[in-house]
Structure 1
Amino acid sequence: MAQSKTVHIVSHTHWDREWYLPYEKHHVRLIKLMDELLAILEKDPDFKSFHLDGQTIMLDDYLQIRPEKREQVEKYVREGRIHVGPWYILQDEFLTSSEANVRNLLYGHRDAARYGAVSKIGYFPDSFGNMGQAPQLLRQAGIGNAFFGRGVKPTGFNNEVSETAAYESPYSEMIWEAPDGSRVLGILFANWYSNGNEMPTEPGEARAYWEQKLKDAERYASTPHVLMMNGCDHQPVQSDAAEAIRTAQRLFPAHRFVHSNLADYALAVSGTVPEHLSVVRGELRSQHTDGWSTLVNTASSRIYLKQMNNRGQALLEKAAEPLAVFAHLTGKAPYPHHLLEYAWKTLMQNHPHDSICGCSVDEVHDEMVARFAKSRHVGEAIVSDSLDVLAGDIDTSPFRNVLREGETAYPLAVWNTTGWERSGVATAELALERIYFRSGIGFAEMKKTLRTLPIGPLRLVDPDGNEIPFDDEDLGIAFGYDLPEDRFRQPYFERKIRVRFEAGRVPALGHKAFAVIHGNQAATGSAHHADSFESANGLAPIASERRSLVTGRNRMENGHLAVTIEKNGSLTVLDKASGRILRDLCIYEDTGDIGNEYMYKQPDGDLPITTRDLAASVTLAEDEPFRASFDIAHTLRIPVSADETLRKEQRELVWFTGRSAGRSSVMTEFRIHTRVTLEREGKGILVESAFDNQAEDHRLRMLFKPGIAAETHQADSIFEVAERNNVPAAEWRNPSNCHHQQAFVSLHDETQGLLIANQGLPEYEIMQEDSAVIAVTLLRAVGEMGDWGHFPTPGAQCKGKHAARLMIIPFAPAESGRTEARLDEEGAMILAHQFQVPWLTLQTGVHEGSLPVVHSYLSWEGKGLMLSALKMSTGGAVVARWFNAAKEERLLTAKPAFPVEEARHSNIMEEPLDQADLGAIAAGPAEIKTVLFQLPS
């Protein structure tokens, strides 16, 4: 009888490292699973292979407990019976940075190769939506396929497949195309990744099982090859899989049943797919569905985790890595590959979709906080070591030339590790005098000497000797210690001050040195300390001597922007270059939330509580020549929680879309403190929000309604600026239409644009009133995990103190015609990326050095290009990576300020390709471009 179909049975387990159980409880179960798998492979040659969920960390976790099993594991990996990689962990793609997604592939490939072989499968079984650039990343890693479970077709309760939505593809097979045009064969788990789970061996059960399973799978298959995934979440190995397959073969001789693997299945499908498969382009976010199963609101579950992750990623990729490159280029420090790998892997252990998404039980997220700290501590140590090397190599001797009689210079350096020149307010701590315990002076005498040290007068100078306005604070006596490489720790007391000033035009990927001058001459830099705000009404004009940015009651301005704080605490901003006034910025909105860690659900009939008609208290907080700030205080009255119906519905597993709970009638005060800051040279307005949440079951957002009418908006995503519709597709039924962002979201019409940058606030929504409203989520407090059972999560109520940082950046859209006076959209994006990266400062001495007082290690130009990484490869090359945010081809030029033996193009795996002409590197639309600068040997 002719065999019309081949049924590929792939044994696997989907291993959420932590989820409804804490990590170690899942860990114990993993050890049992792996022991059983190795035993089956050993005794049953017909058990052909097992897919280890696309992530190498499972083997790391197993061998941590069973190191004696390594040789056996490697044997089966080499033989192709255990398939590992290509990822280190199965991440959430939208909640991890562009570079974190690359490191995940890079370390996953390296680890899989060490175990014996890399599974070249683009595996996204349960990502909560898929990034648009995934096909390009996979192609650059040598992978031509992608297997995914979400983003095109919805799944419902317990992962049941919906039958009512309009699909982008009629088949489970499709072509998935990235914005740059890269294509992979996309394979959707149309019946989920458990459609071949627990295959019966008894003929009667097997017949009924396979009749239904084959019918379901063949319905979506475009080829004679049918995929059956034999496994599910934390599924133990089916030890009698080979017997079950033999039973199926006897019952259905017209089909060919094989114990297969995903690579063989992808190869077979590739050779038999129809000529004209559907093409899906860019992001897969289930936009053509009813919208209830996108799980997008995991972007706002436990936002404190997202903020920790944002700081951790920025520390490693935008500070530790480039600074370690700079230090290595001095010839005085090896590049710490081993430490960076450890820090990255520790951070990425928080990146699985049930971890970073904040949708697990409380114990999981408690442990994540410790991992974030561990990764951060290593990153901070790398930064500190690198800065010590660099500061000691800067030639600060020119500052001797600015000294007057009796003065002493205290140089400090400011580092800009972003890819563009930068100006802004930096803070540095300086020791004016230090006395080591080894000096033999008694504690009392040491402290007396330091306490009586005169602090003033002080002045601050730049490398050209120009005096700069600054603010200083006496920090008193501080204890400290050195940890020398060649002797025991060296404790000391020192007298410290803190200075703040506007560091102007610090070069990209470089540093600029300044010096605090301490002496007996009259100082001009800190003269502003004697001044005070002239009038209780704040109506005095800018004082010419002080150059204050405060221009009136609740008003401040610089050369670019004028900011007025209205009676309700909202901001009205004049963009001076365009003349447009943007109103209703920074209004707070609080609503009820009877959903769960996965999805937001506003109670029926619930009306938002806002600050729109609420009087605010406004006070001047800071008035310096380089910066001004106002504090705004609101007191909202909100319900203490949902009503009692919610807890009953949670216990009884009432699905969140069908809940009838409302908000409690008991009210509580919810105080919100906002600080709004404008810097003298700033083209954006810093907004810092702080509150102590003691309420439950609610969501807090900040709203921006600038009066811009637009049909689409832009959002920073993974290696792209994604354009998204403001109004969802016709199939969308969810009243909420939230999205993911990385650094920013922006709107524009023909004459005005507004970009809202954030630090670790990945959820936003564009609401349509008479014009578009940007809503950024600051807090979402819920009490259960959700999904397949009742898992209370009191920690997800996020009680306690919280803070959020955003930046308002007006800009000129391309349609308006850019002028030198106006910030264009690309400039606004650059400011948003720089907003993620802290200023780094360190005191040094007056000494000779090989580095000039102002220096850039790598200068480059490229309209529309965004620098993403500067690091070193294991092959000893400096790695620089950009992505083209534009839809047109752009030209990149690069000028390294260090010796280069040769420059080569590369892929994201840091493999050298053809030679690169640094004077003319073409970057295609949306292309990710990596260049290797090979150093002389």
Structure 2
Amino acid sequence: MNTRRLLIVHHTHWDREWYRSFADFRFRLLRATEHVVSLLEDNSLEGFLFDGQTSVIEDVDAVAGESLKRSLHTLIREGRIEVGPWYIMPDEFLVSGEAILRNLEIGMAQSRELGSSPEILYLPDTFGHISQLPAIARMFGLKSILLARGVNRDVSDLLWTGADGSEIHTHALPLWSGYYQDFLHADDFTVQTDRFISQCSEYSSGAPVLLPAGSDHSMPPADWKERALHLHDHLSGHNPPWEMKETGLSQALEELRTFHTRGNTPSGTQYPGKLAGELRDNGKAYILSGVLSSRVDLKRANVDTQDALSYQLEPLGYFASDNMLYSEHRNLLWKTLIQNHAHDSIGGCSIDEVHRENHVRFQQVRSGALRHMHDITRRLAGRTPGVFNNMLVLWNQLPYSRETPVRSDVFVPENEDQGSFSLWDGDTPLDLQIISREKTEGFFSEFEYPVNWYPGWKYTVEFLPRLRGMECRQFRIVPCSPERDSAHTLPEVVAEAPPEAPPEAPPENSRGSAVPVMENQHLRVEIGMDGRVDLVNTATRLSIPNALALVWEHDDGDTYTSSPRETGSRWGSLVSIEPVIRNRFSSRCSIRFRGFDDSEVEMKLSLNDNEQLLRVGVEIRNRSRDTRIRLVSGRAGSSRTSFSDTPFDVVKREHRHIRPHSHIPQREAYPNEWPSSSFISAGDVSICHNGFHGYDLLDDGRVAVNLLRAVGMLSKAELPERGGGAGPHIETPEAQLEQGVSGEIGIFPGVWDSPVLTALKFRISPLFDQGVAPAAAPEPLEINNQQIILSALYRMGNELCFLRIWNSSDSPQQFNPGLPPGSRLKRFKGNPLTTVTTAGEGPDAGMLDPAEADPGEPDAGAQAAGEVNLPVTIGPREIAAFLLISKETAE
């Protein structure tokens, strides 16, 4: 009865790319797979975990011979090799919630095709954990989570409660070394095993001790069979004895889960410890927060690419017919994107070659998505090459109403052009502003027509349509002379810029005389001759002085950790202010600042009618190495609290500053960067962005957003903020970002009612195209609750539309969408995966009655609760999925 158990799970942690390229690691993977397969086939090894990622198997299959593939797949079907549930193990804070779900959808589907049934959400090395992982794990029918970083507790087995209240058994690897236990290769492996057992027993609460035997890119020792016999005899001789058992991860976690619940209901009352919410405690293991701002160009590319799939291509399918969807192409784009989401890839902490390949993948996905979108809009608009397409078609591909200026291009053929044009909504002319007009050759290339040219003029216009959610609008283009149409007016120059820049002045100096203001219904922007920008909330009169201050700092860190010098920072000095330009629906101005080594940042200010924010386009021309550039905003005060979003949650953060003074071995200082998916709110300022994920609060409470962090080493041996290396010491000159970076932020003095939705609308503009015979559009679909946030909306055949939303508030919300007449809504309890794939299978294919579900287990991935009555109540932070069934199918 006193015998204790040591559960040995042989594994490898396989970074697909990191300090070597993907191709380099793949060949090493081929050799490593041969090794582990041979050990399994001659029964030298009981089982093996391939890092919880199916991409590893996919990569081997691409280069392995038929014999090795057969052996590998047989071992997976027999359960001796465990794969999944991930396709790629992602960084959870740098990708969208939808990308995390698609990642698991791919991994779970591939696992099942291979004959494996994952039960564990395996995350041994990611840099902290989002608060919604318990909900996500249960959504996919997973029973436990294994993780290491982000937890600093005195017990290993815990009950983790997520942001929406979901609970799940979680095993936190207790030692600083986490999954990295390679001592079974050592000559003194019995001694080291004793030491490991002694250390872990302090955390096990009497349960079996889990030994994750493996490390990065390594396999079990070739003589493991002999070593196993020796270790078994050694452990049996302990007093009390230890029983050694080689097992799979699912079996090991099930044994630990059963030990603590002791056959009771899964309420978790017997677990020795509890966790709640986001896990970013770095008291035991590094969480490496500097990855939030390493290689910002990657983060920017990722946000743009995710948005192209989630909020442009897929919802555009709502307006399309089945023969326009090409779901296999869309799925390939998602898969290619997710290959960039591995934590060392999207984290920007790999060698330069890896990140060059990342940019190629991003470009492939964006190009494929753009071509697919153009094909849909061209067909929906009835665009015909070589003729005058005199209808401008506009699609609001978000299920929210909007009334802000839209910029679009309009092509008028040379033989039709009269120097201007007007837009007509039926019999009503639209008020519009022509921004520019330029000659173009009119090149076109569509497979149905020979490649040709159609010379004409490209106009850029701005107008203010009122759009309902998921609505398509059509406007007639009527050429006319400028004299007949007052729309052909040049933007108004409100004021010239000052003749030359004044000397550099720190932010606290007086504003000087003002260039004329920019103003809309919500915001007044006052620009000083010294480059200061003051923001005033016209409703509350709240003022944020110098709201766009730029500061350059020397950063001695690496791609994992920011290490700013305590001295050597400087505020940006003004280079120039362009004149304020006022259009009918917006105002614009440009300001340039200079910092270290003649680096420059140009801020392009845009204030649009009806928008509750100032848009700030940021273009950084970086010439400085080992530098961090930050945008500082907000009013100085005592606030040490901020809010920011992470996948499917909004998190309140309490900030404190502990200045690192010495190197503490294997410890990390309190983080100086915090994650934000799309918005930050602190004190009296709200900020949204499209990929500037790292931020902090200064000592005086102002927000500092990291626009760029340029460093030249993958990892350094140690820093004041981190007592040891985080990877190999390899130079990464391209991480200095001397090519610069660009992006956009939105800023407002005050607090947005729905910051997540504000950030979404900030990033996503309506789509447009020209045609001659636009197709009939479906009825609009509208979400009228601003706390309910769209995650996914895509068509599955002509009659089915999948909708995933989440409640961004901490209180229950009513969801009552404006459905098309005659349609109905069904609600999924779990995740649909691929249970409903074609319209031919019918609207109820793969959907289970709730009575068939086992109430004592997590929701099965394919369970659906069936038809719902509106309105539906969505719980705090709840993620909910629905199937919209069209009128025709409903009948």
TM-score range, shorter chain: 0.7 to 0.9
Q: Give distance in 1, aligned partners of 2:134 and 2:124.
A: 15
Q: Give distance in 2, aligned partners of 1:802 and 1:176.
A: 39
Counterpart of 1:658 in structure 2 is none
Q: Is the 8 A contact 2:394 2:767 kept in 1?
A: yes
Residue 252 of structure 1: SS of its match in structure 2?
helix
Report the Cα offset of residue 12 of structure 1: 0.6
Counterpart of 2:769 in structure 1 is 842
* Alignment pair present for 1:380 and 2:370: yes
Q: Is the 8 A contact 2:629 2:709 kept in 1?
A: yes
Aligned in 2, Cα 1:801/1:170: closer, same or farther, shift over 3 Å? closer
2:246 partner letter: H
Residue 489 of structure 1: SS of its match in structure 2?
coil
Residue 305 of structure 1: SS of its match in structure 2?
helix
Report the Cα offset of residue 577 of structure 1: 0.8
Counterpart of 2:450 in structure 1 is 489
Report the Cα offset of residue 709 of structure 1: 5.0
Aligned in 2, Cα 1:534/1:129: closer, same or farther, shift over 3 Å? closer
RMSD: 2.7
Q: Which runs of 5+ in 1 are unaligned?
A: 154-168, 395-407, 434-449, 539-550, 639-667, 813-823
Counterpart of 1:805 in structure 2 is 744
Q: Give distance in 1, aligned partners of 2:632 and 2:708.
A: 13
Q: Percent identity?
A: 24
Report the Cα offset of residue 208 of structure 1: 1.6
Q: Which runs of 5+ in 2 are unaligned?
A: 262-269, 500-512, 661-666, 716-725, 834-861
Residue 796 of structure 1: SS of its match in structure 2?
helix
Counterpart of 1:776 in structure 2 is 705
Q: How many residues align?
A: 814
Counterpart of 1:622 in structure 2 is 581
Match of 1:176 among 160, 178, 181: 160
Residue 931 of structure 1: SS of its match in structure 2?
strand
Q: Give distance in 2, aligned partners of 1:533 and 1:475.
A: 24
Aligned in 2, Cα 1:906/1:18: closer, same or farther, shift over 3 Å? same
Counterpart of 1:509 in structure 2 is 470
Residue 321 of structure 1: SS of its match in structure 2?
helix
Q: Give distance in 2, aligned partners of 1:534 and 1:24.
A: 56
* Alignment pair present for 1:210 and 2:172: no
Q: Is the 8 A contact 1:863 1:891 kept in 2?
A: no
Q: After superposing the two structures, state which structure 1 stretch, 371-380 or 892-901, moved more.
A: 892-901
- Which string of whole-angstrom CA distances, capped at 9 and with x for unpartnered residues, describes residues 693-745 of structure 1? 11101100100023565342210111011111133699998375210111110
- Which string of whole-angstrom CA distances, capped at 9 and with x for unpartnered residues, describes residues 20-72 of structure 1? 1111111110000111222222222x522110101100011000012524333
Q: Is the 8 A contact 2:434 2:487 kept in 1?
A: yes
Q: Note the 1:187-202 alignment, pairs <5 A.
A: 187-191=171-175, 192-194=177-179, 196-199=181-184
2:288 partner letter: L
- Which string of whole-angstrom CA distances, capped at 9 and with x for unpartnered residues, describes residues 515-571 of structure 1? 332135953342422865477889xxxxxxxxxxxx972411122211001243232
Report the Cα offset of residue 795 of structure 1: 0.7
Match of 1:587 among 549, 563, 571: 549
Q: Is the 8 A contact 2:395 2:473 kept in 1?
A: yes
Match of 2:279 among 284, 287, 297: 284
Report the Cα offset of residue 8 of structure 1: 0.6
Counterpart of 1:429 in structure 2 is 409
2:169 partner letter: L
Report the Cα offset of residue 505 of structure 1: 2.1
Residue 207 of structure 1: SS of its match in structure 2?
helix
2:673 partner letter: C
Q: Give distance in 1, aligned partners of 2:351 and 2:522.
A: 47
2:392 partner letter: L
Counterpart of 2:678 in structure 1 is 743
Residue 585 of structure 1: SS of its match in structure 2?
coil
Q: Note the 1:264-663 alignment, pairs <5 A.
A: 264-273=251-260, 275-286=270-281, 289=283, 293-328=286-321, 333-392=323-382, 410-433=390-413, 450=414, 454-463=417-426, 465-485=428-448, 489-519=450-480, 522-529=483-490, 533=494, 553-603=515-565, 605-611=566-572, 614-615=573-574, 617-636=576-595, 638=596
Q: Give distance in 2, aligned partners of 1:861 and 1:454.
A: 41
Q: Is the 8 A contact 1:459 1:525 kept in 2?
A: no
1:564 partner letter: E
Counterpart of 1:185 in structure 2 is 169
Aligned in 2, Cα 1:530/1:90: closer, same or farther, shift over 3 Å? closer
Q: Give distance in 2, aligned partners of 1:319 and 1:65.
A: 35
Q: Give distance in 1, aligned partners of 2:246 and 2:224.
A: 8
- Which string of whole-angstrom CA distances, capped at 9 and with x for unpartnered residues, describes residues 655-713 of structure 1? xxxxxxxxxxxxx3222221111112222101112221111011001000235653422
Aligned in 2, Cα 1:63/1:849: closer, same or farther, shift over 3 Å? closer
Counterpart of 2:655 in structure 1 is 726
Report the Cα offset of residue 267 of structure 1: 1.1
Counterpart of 2:210 in structure 1 is 227
Q: Is the 8 A contact 1:688 1:803 kept in 2?
A: yes
Q: Give distance in 1, aligned partners of 2:788 and 2:491.
A: 46
Q: Give distance in 2, aligned partners of 1:587 and 1:535.
A: 22
Counterpart of 1:26 in structure 2 is 25
TM-score, normalising length: structure 2: 0.87
Q: Is the 8 A contact 2:9 2:249 kept in 1?
A: yes
1:722 partner letter: V
Counterpart of 1:135 in structure 2 is 134
Counterpart of 1:402 in structure 2 is none
1:831 partner letter: T
Q: Give distance in 2, aligned partners of 1:276 and 1:25.
A: 43
Counterpart of 1:888 in structure 2 is 811
Q: Is the 8 A contact 1:692 1:799 kept in 2?
A: yes
2:343 partner letter: H
Aligned in 2, Cα 1:92/1:260: closer, same or farther, shift over 3 Å? same
TM-score, normalising length: structure 1: 0.82
* Alignment pair present for 1:904 and 2:827: yes
Q: Is the 8 A contact 1:685 1:807 kept in 2?
A: yes
Report the Cα offset of residue 777 of structure 1: 0.6
Q: Is the 8 A contact 1:410 1:430 kept in 2?
A: no
Report the Cα offset of residue 895 of structure 1: 3.3
Q: Give distance in 1, aligned partners of 2:546 and 2:690.
A: 21
Residue 392 of structure 2: SS of its match in structure 1?
strand
Report the Cα offset of residue 868 of structure 1: 1.3
Q: Give distance in 2, aligned partners of 1:384 and 1:173.
A: 51
Q: Give distance in 2, aligned partners of 1:344 and 1:709.
A: 44
Q: Give distance in 1, aligned partners of 2:668 and 2:228.
A: 42
Q: Give distance in 2, aligned partners of 1:384 and 1:848.
A: 14
Q: Give distance in 1, aligned partners of 2:475 and 2:417.
A: 21
Counterpart of 1:547 in structure 2 is none
Aligned in 2, Cα 1:240/1:758: closer, same or farther, shift over 3 Å? same
1:721 partner letter: V
Q: Give distance in 1, aligned partners of 2:305 and 2:743.
A: 16
- Which string of whole-angstrom CA distances, capped at 9 and with x for unpartnered residues, describes residues 265-288 of structure 1? 11111122272522111111126x
Report the Cα offset of residue 879 of structure 1: 1.1
- Which string of whole-angstrom CA distances, capped at 9 and with x for unpartnered residues, describes residues 217-239 of structure 1? 21221233111111100012333
* Alignment pair present for 1:52 and 2:13: no
Report the Cα offset of residue 843 of structure 1: 1.0
Counterpart of 2:119 in structure 1 is 120
Q: Give distance in 1, aligned partners of 2:668 and 2:46.
A: 45
Counterpart of 1:163 in structure 2 is none
Q: Is the 8 A contact 2:381 2:775 kept in 1?
A: no
Aligned in 2, Cα 1:201/1:842: closer, same or farther, shift over 3 Å? closer
Counterpart of 2:729 in structure 1 is 790
Q: Give distance in 2, aligned partners of 1:723 and 1:531.
A: 43
Counterpart of 2:689 in structure 1 is 758
Residue 496 of structure 1: SS of its match in structure 2?
strand
1:850 partner letter: A
Report the Cα offset of residue 86 of structure 1: 0.3
Counterpart of 1:646 in structure 2 is none
Q: Give distance in 2, aligned partners of 1:849 and 1:376.
A: 26
